[in-house]
Copies of this chain bind each other. A is one copy, B any other.
Amino acid sequence: MLKGNCVVAQSGGPSAVINASLAGVISEALKSDYIETVYGSHNGIEGILNNNLINLNELFEGKQDDLDLLKITPAMFLGSCRHKMSEDENDEEYNIIFNVFREKNIKYFFYIGGNDSMDTVLKLSQIAAARQEDVIFMGVPKTIDNDLPITDHTPGFGSAAKFIATSIYEMSFDFDVYDKEGVLIVEVMGRNAGWLTASSVLARVGGRTAPQLIYLPEVAFDEDKFIEDIKTKMKEHKQVVVAVSEGIKNQDGKYISAQSENKDKFGHVMLNGAGKYLERLVADRLACKVRSVELNILQRGSAHLLSRTDNNEAFILGSEAVVAATAGHTGEMTIVKRMCNNPYSVKVDTCPIGDVANQEKKVPLEWITSEGNDVTDEMISYLEPLILGEAELEYEKGLPKYYYL
């Protein structure tokens, strides 16, 4: 087995539990006989390119309380980046990276991130193989979007789902206080995959009825049908709550959005305003009160409401990446396999990184109702276990206590 130092980094958008995966990597790496110094790279791969590494042994060795606090701290302790690696494998940035690895005797690289980050792991592991560099590359999945294939679900998703379900559940109490017809539109994150929006259905599991309508980006959105759906639901419920994905598109594939469409450097359309657009549409077509709420970045970093199931799995997928790497695996990502729904149990495994990089797992169409405005019981069974359990937070001066320097 390789023996030397390791680097861990985080990339992509924040979540409530990506630091739990970091804590998992650090915890296991500090114990490992194959790893001496554990470096953290600031701002993902850019920390290696800019020689901005931090010694994590100094911060966390013998400090279990700090590691425990890191585990429940939202967002990304090491910072993030959205750096896209060059398609040219002779690009100078690859030389810089492997030079840093040699200089610092780095034998293991752990990258916690989503689709784009796994693309980085894939490219680096391929180039390492081609150049016969003795460095092992392991990915640890992270994305609130739950859109990575192979793994049953991704860390970060369960906590975001718990926030979305709880918020809509609580807003349903708020929204039905007036004795008059109204529509509440809640815009949920998710560009192409509707998992987050689907999780709004969990607001109903206790017996309440909101959200009455759920629209995912997997099904073409029809404005006239939407207005008819609201009218139908309003016959039963004066106040109709609608959960809608930011990424809903019409049948021509055009985003339902009040704003212009700009693209980020990964070629993703930056969205804003599906909820606001639909609010105006309802105001225009129906004579009733209407409000839209955008859950925005609250849904991805509200660690005070994290799912303990999600938090624990994120930690284990981090620690198991170290176990697999020091057993010789490279170019892989840790994954969750669901063994049983009730009682919920999972097994941790790994898969080749090529199977997940740049892939997107959408909601299966058979988990969406034929009307295209709700999800099925199979979806509920899939989602239910993922939001179970709460954080054990300590509060200081009324705020949750988190880890930061």
The interface stretch among A188-196, A314-322, A396-404 is: A396-404
Q: Do residues A297 and B291 form an inter-chain contact, with CB atoms below 8 A? A: yes
Note all chain B residues with C-beta closer than 8 A to A395. Answer: 390
CA A404 to CA B206, docked complex, whole Å: 11
Note all chain B residues with C-beta closer than 8 A to A206. Answer: 396-397, 399, 401
The interface stretch among A71-79, A87-95, A333-341, A348-356 is: A71-79
CA A328 to CA B140, docked complex, whole Å: 68
CA A297 to CA B80, docked complex, whole Å: 30
Chain B CB within 10 A, most for which of A75, A174, A390: A174
Q: Do residues B387 and A398 form an inter-chain contact, with CB atoms below 8 A? A: yes
Chain B CB within 10 A, most for which of A82, A291, A304, A307: A304
Q: Is A133 an interface residue (CB 8 A)?
A: no
Q: Is A296 an interface residue (CB 8 A)?
A: yes
Given the interface pairs A79-B178, A81-B179, A177-B79, the reply to whether A398 lies near B304 with Cβ below 8 Å is no
Note all chain B residues with C-beta closer than 8 A to A167. Answer: 298, 302
Q: Is A147 an interface residue (CB 8 A)?
A: no
Residues 45-99 (chain A) with a chain B CB within 8 angstroms: 46, 73-76, 79-82
Query: How many positions in chain A have a CB within 8 Å of any CB in the partner chain?
Result: 60
Q: Do residues A398 and B80 form an inter-chain contact, with CB atoms below 8 A? A: no
Q: Is A365 an interface residue (CB 8 A)?
A: no
CA A196 to CA B130, docked complex, whole Å: 59
CA A171 to CA B398, docked complex, whole Å: 16
CA A82 to CA B79, docked complex, whole Å: 47
CA A390 to CA B304, docked complex, whole Å: 11
29 A–B contacts, CB within 8 A, in A order: A14-B174, A42-B179, A74-B170, A74-B173, A75-B174, A75-B177, A79-B179, A165-B399, A167-B298, A167-B302, A169-B399, A170-B298, A171-B298, A171-B301, A174-B297, A202-B399, A203-B399, A205-B399, A206-B396, A206-B397, A206-B399, A293-B296, A293-B297, A294-B294, A294-B296, A295-B298, A305-B305, A387-B398, A388-B397
Q: Which A residues are within 8 Å of any B CB, using their own CB?
A: 10, 14, 42-43, 46, 73-76, 79-82, 162, 165-167, 169-171, 173-179, 202-203, 205-206, 208, 291, 293-298, 300-305, 307, 384, 387-390, 395-402, 404
